[in-house]
């Protein structure tokens, strides 16, 4: 609502100027003028005074249709078009006014101003000179002289801009073009020349701004759309690139450059969207293959190869392929050390590979570049817990299984080790004592890793069998189903059967 109010106030600011213009007396009004035309003109004038430009315009349309030879009807309609910012529509009406009444000074002055804004300097100068020869009012004479001087100054600036541009002095060219465009704001050529300077200076955002204006100023500007699409493509914005090249093909379906570029962008866009869809489906291996295709489709634009590697790094990390993830993420970080996504993914891969200190380091680095990121904070806390835990008991290492091991693998490893380290297998007292400790560790590891709740706690860096980790809470170690209430490692000889559940 705020922006609409501002726009409305801006439009209404034109009304006093318009009312002065439409109150001008004009010659040649015939006594027998069509009453309907007069009625439309009067109603249009009232609506204009009330700021209802669209309604006023409809009445001026009717007045022109009712009397195609009424130059004031054209002039009034032109002033409304100007107030609405529709200069392209105003210019034909002003041309018609001057065709019907060549000595209408106000219309000629207005047309000269429009031509100046369009950068048609010679035509504008001709109108200003004719104004000065037509006995203008003091105000009109002053404005015509001022605009004539301005036009001559712009002619010199244009010459200087082209000269320094040819010398590849793009900074100076931009300075001249800034001054030119300040007056000739509707000129396509000057906008496109400045855009080219920005491109050469690698200021793509400013180039895009000028080219977008240029694409609107000329209806058939396929070249502007092609350049816009090419810039967006180089910047890695494949979706915007596709939008702009489609606009080019709407204007000219047979445009060779646009059609060729369209096929390339469409193929790349399709591959990237498909890869992201596979990630959403948790089909990480397939997503890796698709992003590898992206790099083959566009190997020459760094952004796409870099983005593809970053996403592959992400997929490998999610797919528990720690070694491959670490390698790919490291490639990304070699060229982009502050890439937070790659830092987080590599940190997670380090955790999977039990390289806890490296994981902590990556999370700490990532937190410097992305403060307040909850995922980084939680990841860092987890890595710090696991690093601390790794210096104590590691149930995975005790059983010799990976952190990704399934329950069947854990039980199999447990049975093998339990048989190997069963105290009955040792006769020497020292060896038996060592085996007893090992045997308990193996049983505890199996207890924790086969219980989903306990395993989850351990994976988060908390030892569920450590009273200190439990903050004084009681533990529940019940793996000794075969011992039923007595210490199997007490004094004296013993024999027992261990329950491999």
Can you spell out the DSSP letters for 137-165?
-HHHHHHHHHHHHHHHHHHHHHHHHHHHH
In a domain, 415, yes or no: yes
Domain that includes residue 430, residue range: 396-501
Measured distance CA(283)–CA(201) in Å, rounded: 42
Residue bearing tokens 């209408």: 104
Is 501 a domain residue?
Answer: yes
**483: number of Cβ within 10 Å:** 13
Contact (CB, 8 A) for 176 and 155: no
- Which CATH number is 406's domain given? 1.10.287.110
Q: What is the pLDDT along the chain (501 residues), one digit of tens a residue?
A: 334 344 344 444 544 444 444 444 444 444 445 678 888 888 888 888 888 889 988 988 898 888 899 898 899 899 888 888 888 889 999 999 999 999 999 999 999 999 999 999 999 999 999 999 988 899 999 999 999 999 999 999 999 999 999 999 999 999 999 999 999 999 999 999 999 999 999 999 999 999 999 999 988 999 999 999 999 999 999 999 999 999 999 999 999 999 999 999 999 999 999 999 999 999 999 999 999 999 999 999 999 999 999 999 999 999 999 999 999 999 999 999 999 999 999 999 999 998 999 999 999 999 999 988 999 999 999 999 888 877 778 888 889 988 889 999 999 999 999 999 999 998 888 888 888 988 998 999 999 999 999 999 888 888 888 776 654 444 444 444 433 333 334 333 333 344 444
Asked whether 114 and 94 are in contact (CB, 8 A), the reply is: yes
Cα distance between the two ends of the chain: 71
CA distance 216 to 224: 9
Total domains present in the chain:
1
Q: Among all chains, which residue has been given the structure tokens 């009717």?
A: 62
C-beta separation of 117 from 185 below 8 A: yes
Give the CA-trace dihedral at 132, 133, 135, 139, to 10 degrees.
0
User: Element (H or E) spanning 286, and its range?
Assistant: helix 284-297
> Which of 278, 302, 281 is CA-nearest to residue 290?
278
Assigned domain for 457 exists:
yes
Distance CA 468, CA 262 (A): 64
Burial zone of 451 (CB within 10 Å; 0-12 exposed, 13-18 middle, 19+ buried) = middle
The answer to whether position 429 is within a domain reads yes
Residue 159 resides in a domain? no
Q: Is residue 449 part of a domain?
A: yes
Pull the structure tokens for residue 342: 């790659």
Give SS3 for 212. helix
Q: Is residue 468 part of a domain?
A: yes
CA distance 254 to 240: 21
Tell whether 424 is covered by a domain.
Answer: yes
Exposure of 467 by Cβ count < 10 A (0-12 exposed, 13-18 middle, 19+ buried)? Answer: exposed
């Amino acid at each position: 609502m705020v922006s609409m109010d501002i726009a409305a106030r801006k439009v209404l600011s034109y009304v006093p100027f318009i009312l002065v213009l439409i109150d001008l007396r004009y010659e040649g009004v015939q006594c027998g003028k069509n009453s309907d035309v007069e009625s439309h003109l009067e109603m249009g004038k009232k609506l204009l005074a009330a700021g209802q430009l669209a309604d006023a315009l409809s009445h001026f349309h009717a007045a022109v249709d009712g009397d195609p030879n009424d130059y004031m009807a054209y002039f009034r309609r032109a002033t409304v078009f100007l107030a609405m910012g529709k200069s392209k529509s105003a210019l034909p009406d002003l041309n018609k006014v001057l065709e019907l009444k060549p000595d209408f000074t106000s219309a000629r002055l207005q047309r000269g101003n429009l031509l100046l804004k369009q950068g048609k300097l010679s035509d504008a100068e001709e109108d200003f000179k004719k104004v000065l020869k037509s006995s203008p009012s003091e105000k009109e004479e002053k404005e015509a002289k001022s605009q004539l001087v301005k036009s001559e100054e712009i002619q010199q600036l244009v010459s200087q801009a082209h000269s320094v541009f040819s010398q590849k002095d793009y900074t100076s060219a931009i300075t001249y073009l800034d001054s030119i465009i300040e007056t000739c704001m509707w000129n396509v050529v000057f906008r496109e020349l400045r855009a080219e300077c920005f491109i050469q200076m690698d200021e793509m955002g400013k180039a895009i701004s000028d080219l977008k204006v240029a694409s609107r100023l000329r209806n058939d500007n396929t070249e502007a759309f092609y350049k816009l699409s090419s810039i967006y493509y180089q910047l890695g914005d494949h979706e915007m690139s596709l939008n702009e090249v489609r606009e080019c093909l709407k204007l000219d379906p047979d445009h060779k450059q646009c059609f060729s570029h369209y096929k390339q962008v469409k193929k790349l866009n399709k591959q990237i969207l498909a890869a992201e869809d596979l990630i959403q489906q948790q089909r990480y291996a397939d997503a890796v293959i698709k992003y590898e295709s992206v790099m083959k489709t566009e190997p020459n634009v760094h952004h796409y190869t870099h983005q593809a590697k970053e996403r592959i790094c992400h997929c490998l990390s999610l797919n528990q392929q720690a070694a491959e993830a670490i390698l790919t993420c490291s490639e990304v970080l070699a060229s982009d050390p502050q890439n937070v996504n790659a830092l987080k993914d590599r940190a997670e891969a380090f955790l999977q590979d039990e390289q806890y200190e490296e994981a902590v380091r990556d999370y700490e680095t990532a937190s410097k570049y992305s403060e307040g990121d909850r995922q980084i904070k939680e990841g860092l806390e987890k890595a710090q817990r696991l690093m601390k835990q790794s210096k104590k008991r590691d149930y995975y290492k005790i059983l010799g299984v990976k952190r990704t091991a399934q329950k069947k693998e854990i039980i199999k490893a447990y049975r093998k080790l339990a048989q190997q380290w069963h105290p009955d297998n040792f006769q020497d007292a020292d060896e038996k004592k060592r085996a007893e400790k090992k045997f308990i560790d193996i049983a505890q590891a199996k207890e924790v890793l086969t219980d989903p709740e306990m395993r989850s706690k351990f994976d988060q860096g908390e030892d569920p069998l450590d009273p200190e980790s439990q903050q004084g809470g009681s533990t529940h170690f019940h793996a000794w189903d075969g011992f039923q209430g007595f210490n199997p490692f007490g004094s004296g000889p013993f024999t027992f059967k261990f329950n491999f559940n």
